[in-house]
Amino acid sequence: MRKPVVGVIANTYRIENRFDVQTTGERNLRAVADVAGALPLIFPGLPDVTDLSALLDTVDGILLTGARANVHPTYFGAEPHPAHEPYDLSRDAVALPLIRACVEMGVPVLGICRGFQEMNVAFGGSLHPEIRDLPGRMNHRMPRLLTGEIHPDPEVLFADRHEVRFVPGGVFANLFGCETIRVNSLHGQGILEPGERVVIEGVAEDDTIEAIRIADAPGFALGVQWHAEFDPQTSVVNRALFSSFGAALRQAVALRPGRIRPDAGR
């Protein structure tokens, strides 16, 4: 059997305030290669460049990564605000229809942080721009120094900060072999109202939604709010997630001749 290929979505980024580039974190690529056992293939989050039908003819699965930019509020009936920028409308225009196509086709899809939020919006759910502003919620944003600067040490940034409790007997509880884990936390935006097919599988101590699956998906369709790509090589929890993704990818390769492709661009 050939090695699976995973499409890893890229984000719009401007270098030196002049050059537009498409980027993704290297840890995403290493997680796919080292733990899922697949070949990562970066594709642009640009709707006029990325042909979704051609993409889905090429890859065996999709990784929706975290990103600096928030999902644009117009996708869930809210008003944009400068305080909640940056946005990446180009990535939104690629990711949202791509998620629906993957679920319909049974193409394995794993959403992390922004990707997790995209999965919710793709099925009609809404987001809150600052989860920490809701009553009773903790600050889920990345740790900062007393000066207000983001902490320079990645080990501090991605350290476990809170628990996640899973639905007993659910997909995640079975995947991890337990009902409670500890995870990192580096996000402002979060799920407010779940989408029509979005099943909540895990919540933080403050009831912030942290793990979801898409109901009746014929293939792997899971999302997590934490950054599981940081350390799956050493973390038992994050290794289990990417290993399960890898198993789904290999099954997708074996079943690929029978894949039925809908109109992915709709």
pLDDT, tens digit (0-9, with 9 covering 90-100), for 26-67: 999 999 999 999 999 999 999 999 999 999 999 999 999 998
Q: In what order do the strands lie in the sheet with 5-9?
A: 39-43, 5-9, 61-64, 109-112, 221-224, 209-214, 198-204, 162-166, 180-183
Q: Please, which pLDDT band fits residue 266 given cuts at 50, 70 and 90?
A: very low
- The pLDDT of residue 265: 46
**Of 46-55, 130-139, 176-185, 189-198, the least confident:** 130-139
- The pLDDT of residue 38: 98
Site of tokens 């709709």: 266
pLDDT digits (tens, 9 = 90+) for 97-131: 999 999 999 999 999 999 999 999 999 999 988 87
Contact in structure between 118 and 96 (CB atoms under 8 Å)? yes
pLDDT tops 90 at residue 186: no
Q: Mean pLDDT in the chain? A: 90
Domains and CATH numbers, the chain: 5-128+189-258 (3.40.50.880)
Residues known to be catalytic:
113, 227, 229
Rounded to 5°, angle at Cα 146 from 140 and 147: 110
Q: Enter the pTM of the model.
A: 0.91
